[in-house]
Structure 1
């Protein structure tokens, strides 16, 4: 069977994360190849709000100006009821909270197709092979030394590819992940130590079947009339979110360049639904099965100024081929690598889109992985790989060596050590990384650096989504509470923390960080530059700075039982008052079929607001001089770890 010449890094999946990794490897001089299952590249989807976290990287790559020409800065998000009354506003360009001043950039709202085309244009055509549907991967073991030299990928057309490193960037239903997990389970089923984290078996939670709780219909209109939709003419993109009470639907309207709306309508399912998937990637952005949902949502309120328009007006203004139905699931896997395979982006962590960080986090995965690969590769090898010879998998000669394909009961050899990095040769057939080197110096530090960050993103996206989609009186009060703190020091502290992880690659000239709020010390690019032999700690594997150690000690103290107990005691009174008020109002709610009638709603809001104001004033007075500890305590309050309102 024909086999392509070996490449250093084989990327399966031509999505945003895979393309950014390809660009970074191109700049780093590391040989790579991208396999994309689609025969024709036709980027679909709605808007992507590139956060200030990833824009320094775009500037570092020289892409920021090009992105800004086809995007709008994010100004605010207005959450509305279906009668168009305002629930709350999140502002990104006010005098109290200006993202550009605090974090160096405003978020940039760009359509997925526009961003995809920019990234795709930076990659040589010969580096992307289309129509290559991943089937499985196998470790290649030298029969003489019993050392795993390579990983082999088989595609549905029969072509084979060899690589030092396989990166699964093929989305939430990743076929690479499924292949990796099967191999780990087979190894442990045969009593052989696996190649996941620390040769442990596959965690139980990683073996659970995937389920989704929401579906969404997304699209981008053609140019619209500015008189009817004046928001489209504004310099800043002003998002509108409409909560449809007593309905499972929620609508998002996001102005983009060209007088167009990017729109998204989500439907919350009554119960989580199993994702049926074989050994192939789900069509996340395909236009199939959109007609039924399109008909169901046509009557929903639209974004026009007069409030008379509907979602159906936007559907009619959108090319049907650019409308997609997608599943919205959220999950963070605990296993990100094994053998010579590592996962990236949605393949290992998937969040709902309500905070707009999913795509940005996939790109930041690529930053960490590319930096670690570059910094642990011999410089002579990098120099020799800047102009590699890559051919298709259909007419290539046989691989340069004659290794045997390993079976599941021979994976023990995968962890055997060969020569160290410093003693490897620089020919195309040389082993520049042993499996142990990859795990200890690249994969494990990558996992340790990224897991806490993406877990926080997934949790915050889930919490914000739940805050918006839940219906009823209590949910309305929770939304009131959350939006009330947006302009307070408490709200700014939360946003500051969410925008602290602004990292760049190690091997290119750094773009200046212009934000008044400095990036987190534990996530700055210097932390990824050197990885010691242990690869341990909870960071990226290198020696931590004094500032990092002090920061960790400080947060450990705040997370102590005593710290949590102090906050619980302070918030207990608020909880008791809230429960008492709910008990008092319950008979009245039972008497009225509509719990949120205007008069009753205003009375309840005022009463609750008085309770909240008294509590907020007390907390602010006590912690105004200890703001650092306040940050951690606010985290507990917002995530519901203490016995308070669960937001």
Structure 2
């Protein structure tokens, strides 16, 4: 590592949820940083987002969780339907006592704003900065990042947090002499999503109540948001050739497009008609996107460059873990950077050691989550090998006891990374029951304890 001054110590490419979380961590830890974002302004995008216990702990450390609680809606109950037949009601009110935090749903743009503020806002986030090259030459004093407008930045470390079609990842491949190809694969499904105004006719008894609805030819999930707003996600298979499978987002999506698929279908919150059209017509915005997932997992680090979130391990959004995994990545990468910079003599060796640990921990966790999300998607849409999809879906959603759900979620929600160098934070006490699945156990080699512990000090 050179002693020559650089523009910053950490340069983050991408002001998405993971990039801004890492920026907020750097800000709190007094590590100089800059965020480069290609868009000209942060305008409302997407619909809603689900934040689970595995992401909420570090958000609590960063002071963002209080804003999530104030403006989001905790999930209390999920009603499960097959067409008009209600299979069951799943009670999730015990999540907080089990894992220390519940699941919250919130408007994605609002949550993005909270992270933007925590990351220092315009003082540290440079909008309209489209990265065109990343140069990390052996022996050079710093990594050089070039922007389309001609600006050049230098940094000790560069982090690619630039999403499913990561420019950082592509440039690294090209610089290494590898063929630059997309390793994400279209799953044959499309998500149609929206965020609504408060739904007429819903009262206090509907707050925190969501719906999973399975139809013969599609599925729809509505998550409860503040003031009985609804965030909905519809999933259906896309006939080949209907939309370009290489495009992530369907531009120009309208309410009528979503209504063409779901408008006449049943929804218990759909007013007198009990149809989805009553939900969709109250949308403030709608979006449709093809669903992709990662097929080839790169190393999470290369030289002085690290990847996080979808840039390294894009996954289907059926269990709402894409953003949560980016936040987990940012937390563990924050710990790696703190370990490096807190060394008496930060060097290439201390960075290599910190990056190796980050890559090992997050690489395995990312692969596990992509696999889990893919299998869960197959159950959710009742498409599994040998025609087992429908019966597997009934077992999971109609007959499986709620304690089995909580037990199965141990490995997902029980892993709650936190920044170890923030000693002023008091974590809630939770009790974690051990799981037996070897493939999805802790990313640490220590045995899982059934003792009551502070999750995060020793990740279960």
The TM-score normalised by the length of structure 1 is 0.61
Identify the residue that residue 288 of structure 1 maps to in structure 2.
252
CA-to-partner distance for each residue in 1:537-577, whole Å, 9 max, x for gaps? x967xxx6xxx1x56xx9xxxxxxxxxxxxxxxxxxxxxxx
Q: Distance in 1 between matches of 2:236 and 2:195?
A: 18
For 1:196-215, what aligned pairs fall within 5 Å after superposition?
A: 208=183, 210-215=185-190
Q: Distance in 2 between matches of 1:313 and 1:306?
A: 6
Offset at residue 85 of structure 1 (A): 0.5
Offset at residue 89 of structure 1 (A): 4.2
Offset at residue 183 of structure 1 (A): 1.9
Listed as ranges, the gaps of 5+ residues in structure 1 are 142-146, 190-201, 379-420, 424-431, 521-537, 555-647
| Coordinate RMSD, CA, aligned | 3.0
- In the alignment, is the contact (CA less than 8 A) between 1:364 and 1:503 conserved in 2? yes
Offset at residue 223 of structure 1 (A): 2.3
Q: Distance in 2 between matches of 1:242 and 1:122?
A: 36
1:136 to 100, 119, 133: 133
Identify the residue that residue 19 of structure 1 maps to in structure 2.
20
Identify the residue that residue 414 of structure 2 maps to in structure 1.
500
- In the alignment, is the contact (CA less than 8 A) between 2:184 and 2:293 conserved in 1? no
Identify the residue that residue 123 of structure 1 maps to in structure 2.
119
Q: Distance in 2 between matches of 1:312 and 1:16?
A: 31
Alignment pair present for 1:446 and 2:364: no
Which structure has the greater CA radius of gyration? 1
Q: Distance in 1 between matches of 2:264 and 2:119?
A: 43
Identify the residue that residue 512 of structure 1 maps to in structure 2.
427
Q: Aligned residues, how many?
A: 432
1:315 to 280, 293, 299: 280
CA-to-partner distance for each residue in 1:54-99, whole Å, 9 max, x for gaps? 22222222222221011111112222122x1024444312xxxx11
CA-to-partner distance for each residue in 1:423-444, whole Å, 9 max, x for gaps? 4xxxxxxxx442x5423x2221
For 1:413-452, what aligned pairs fall within 5 Å after superposition?
A: 422-423=344-345, 432-434=346-348, 436-439=349-352, 441-452=353-364
Q: Distance in 1 between matches of 2:240 and 2:382?
A: 14
2:146 to 136, 142, 154: 154
- In the alignment, is the contact (CA less than 8 A) between 2:184 and 2:294 conserved in 1? no
Offset at residue 335 of structure 1 (A): 2.4
- In the alignment, is the contact (CA less than 8 A) between 1:13 and 1:168 conserved in 2? yes
Identify the residue that residue 477 of structure 1 maps to in structure 2.
391
- In the alignment, is the contact (CA less than 8 A) between 1:136 and 1:153 conserved in 2? yes
Specify whether residues 493 and 209 from structure 1 end up closer, same or farther in structure 2 by C-alpha distance, changes over 3 A only: closer
- In the alignment, is the contact (CA less than 8 A) between 1:217 and 1:326 conserved in 2? yes
Offset at residue 117 of structure 1 (A): 1.4
CA-to-partner distance for each residue in 1:414-471, whole Å, 9 max, x for gaps? xxxxxxx644xxxxxxxx442x5423x2221111112232322222222222112126
For 1:100-119, what aligned pairs fall within 5 Å after superposition?
A: 100-119=96-115
Specify whether residues 505 and 455 from structure 1 end up closer, same or farther in structure 2 by C-alpha distance, changes over 3 A only: same
For 1:346-357, what aligned pairs fall within 5 Å after superposition?
A: 346-357=310-321
Q: Which has the higher strand share?
A: 2
The TM-score normalised by the length of structure 2 is 0.85
Q: Which has the higher helix share?
A: 1
Q: Distance in 1 between matches of 2:227 and 2:251?
A: 23
More divergent stretch after superposition (214-223 vs 466-475): 466-475
